[in-house]
Amino acid sequence: MTGATLEAIRYKRGSLEILDQLLLPHASVYIPISTLALGHDAIKTMKVRGAPAIAIVAALSLAVVLAHDPSSKTTSWKTSADAVQFIDSSLEYLKTSRPTAVNLFDAAHKLSKAIHAAAAEPEATAETVKEKYLQLAEQMLEDDVRDNTNIGQFGAEYILSQWQGGQDLRVITHCNTGSLATAGYGTALGIIRSLASQKRLTHAYCTETRPYNQGSRLTAYELVYENIPSTLITDSMASALLRQESGKVAAIVVGADRVAANGDTANKIGTYQLAITAKYHNVPFI
């Protein structure tokens, strides 16, 4: 039986808290993000990580500032152009927190484009521009959870459609692609969650994922938190596991930091060796 879904991001308008991932798995501490500087620091120091989560936290950090206006800067806005200038400069600052996070830049571009369009509307004011930003940032949070849930569902359906090994179904995953890396539910780990919720998963294996140990610190934590039967293995054990559990491992599921136009992918170190051993042992690599 699975437990409660882990919340790495807690948000309501005017309030944002994130689970400090630097303290996991030994302590679960939520820290408030009430300023741009705190949001920037949380991303830069990897209190939050995972490209989708980084984008959401950056967007919501500015949303909290706009909702609360603690510095009173926006009270001096006279026009919609003033609001656009403040939001654009804030997004540029937040982008410097993690220059390699493509989701962050994509989200900033989408938000900037939306507020420029809002400012161009007849009767536009600073307040309408601010409201447009808040609505879109909050929609990004909802959309990410919805998209991840769909990824989990469709991924699980695909694995089950290909599986011919009976009731004993096991899956291996690498790095961290769960609630801690996204707005919620997860991508590759979401597939494991979906299989578990359908009572089709016998066991999940997660690799340590050296050198930063996202698997041992974060993925193992998520699996235990949700009571999903699981085992943490060293990175070098995957091939031996596939041989030992021959016919029982239904798939290896991983994330992708980048996907090129031709289908090539880039992901955490250790992904390539898993792909090679999956091919050798005729295990689907997803």
Task: Report the candidate in 196, 216, 199, 198 with the shortest Cα–Cα distance to residue 207.
Answer: 216
Region at 112 (left for phi over 0; alpha for psi -120 to 50; beta for the rest)? alpha
Q: Which two tokens stand for residue 154?
A: 């469709």
Cβ 175 vs Cβ 219: under 8 Å:
yes
What is the C-alpha separation between 155 and 163, in angstroms, rounded?
12
CB atoms within 10 A of CB 215: 26
Cβ 74 vs Cβ 130: under 8 Å:
yes
Does 147 participate in catalysis according to the annotation? Answer: no
What is the C-alpha separation between 119 and 141, in angstroms, rounded?
23
Please give the order of strands across the beta sheet that includes 15-19. 9-12, 15-19, 30-32
What is the C-alpha separation between 239 and 272, in angstroms, rounded?
12
Please enumerate in sequence order all residues whose Cβ is within 8 A of that of 112, keeping only pairs 6 or more positions apart, or say none: 87, 88, 91
Catalytic residue among 82, 88, 147, 257: 257
Please enumerate in sequence order all residues whose Cβ is within 8 A of that of 118, keeping only pairs 6 or more positions apart, or say none: 80, 124, 128, 129, 132
Total length of the chain: 286
For 128, how many CA atoms within 13 A lie in the half-sphere containing its CB?
13
Q: Please give the positions annotated as active site.
A: 257
